[in-house]
Amino acid sequence: MSIKIFCDIADLNNIKKFNKIKLVKGFTTNPSLMRKAGAKDYKLYSKKILNICKNKPVSLEVFADDYVEMKKQAIEINSWKRNVYVKIPVINSRGKFMGRIIKELNENNVKLNITAVYNAKQVQRILKKINKKTEVIISIFAGRAADTGKDPIPEFKQSIKISQKYKNVKILWASVREPYNYLQAKQIGCHIITIPPNLIEKIENFGKSFDTLTKETVKAFLVDSKKSKFKINY
């Protein structure tokens, strides 16, 4: 099964760079990445991203924590461009399941990216709220789950299995920690993986022999030692 690579990013210069790379099929971002990139005006900054990425899907996240404001934000964000997926957290900061807003937006043909998902139980709750027509991405956070000592793979496998009847649903591997996660996601049948820019660049090493990597590593050590003008007096 083929898997699409999205770039998890908010920096405008890097977005321009990776938008030109055929390997990258879409973009995801979030309020934390936006803040890190220096965004001050959320709408203005988001539209700058969309002006760069005109033909690839872009996931833009709401940042409200209550139903009324979250729905207003979602409707507004959805109106910005046809390639927008509105990111909705599976729960709010108080732990309340966002099933009501997921259902209403889905019924109104708003393309969604349900984020901050960690297990198949949450995926099952989402599936009960959506139709089998409007596009939905479900983002499962692998790296953050693994950081707690839990293996995310079984949750992915079960999530993919229970969502098979929904042709409009795509399971996304989020929170990538290393390039090898791409191969893991591909092997278990994820539809999408969103990867930080620095790790996408490392995927270019895929297929290199260990001998080649050894030679490149030793050369790098040699270059750095010469730049540092290291000497040992005997």
Reduced 3-state DSSP string for 98-152: CHHHHHHHHHCCCCEEEEEECCHHHHHHHHCCCCCCCCEEEEEEHHHHHHCCCCC
Asked if residues 106 and 129 have their Cβ atoms less than 8 Å apart, the reply is yes
> What residues make up the domain containing 101?
4-206
Question: Is residue 225 situated within a structural domain?
Answer: no
Per the DSSP assignment, residues forming a β-bridge with 195 are 7
Take residue 136 and report the two structure tokens written for it: 């939905």
CA distances from 144 to 41, 97, 105, 116, 152 (A): 28, 20, 27, 10, 9
From 71, 87, 111, 129, active-site residue = 87
Tell me 61's DSSP state: E
What is the model's pLDDT at position 213?
86
Length of the chain: 234
SS3 state at 40: coil
Question: Is residue 218 situated within a structural domain?
Answer: no
Question: Is residue 232 situated within a structural domain?
Answer: no
What is the model's pLDDT at position 49?
98
Q: Any idea what the CATH number is for the domain that residue 168 is in?
A: 3.20.20.70
Question: Is residue 215 situated within a structural domain?
Answer: no
What does the pLDDT look like over 170-179, one tens digit per residue? 999 999 999 9
CA nearest to 194, candidates 89, 93, 58: 58
Asked if residues 35 and 14 have their Cβ atoms less than 8 Å apart, the reply is no
Question: Is residue 227 situated within a structural domain?
Answer: no
Question: Is residue 141 situated within a structural domain?
Answer: yes
Q: Which residue has the tokens 């278990």?
A: 188
- Number of domains composing the chain: 1
What does the pLDDT look like over 48-59, one tens digit per residue? 999 999 999 999
Kind plus residue range of the DSSP H or E element containing 31: helix 31-36
What average pLDDT does the segment 208-215 reach? 90
What does the pLDDT look like over 98-124, one tens digit per residue? 999 999 999 999 999 999 999 999 999
What is the model's pLDDT at position 1?
59
What does the pLDDT look like over 4-44, one tens digit per residue? 999 999 999 999 999 999 999 999 999 999 999 999 999 99
Q: Which residue has the tokens 């229970």?
A: 162
CA distance 17 to 86: 23
Question: Is residue 230 situated within a structural domain?
Answer: no
The mean-pLDDT minimum among 57-71, 162-176, 191-205 falls in 191-205
CA distances from 232 to 45, 47, 222, 225, 229 (A): 53, 56, 15, 12, 10
Query: Which amino acid appears at position 10 of this protein?
Result: A
Q: Is 87 a catalytic residue?
A: yes
CA distance 131 to 144: 29
Tell me 93's DSSP state: T
**Pairs from 66-72 (Cβ < 8 Å, separation ≥ 24):** 66/92, 67/98, 67/100, 67/101, 70/98, 70/101, 71/101, 71/104, 71/105
Tell me 97's DSSP state: B
pLDDT band for 180, please (50, 70, 90 cuts): very high
CA nearest to 137, candidates 108, 104, 159: 159
Question: Is residue 223 situated within a structural domain?
Answer: no
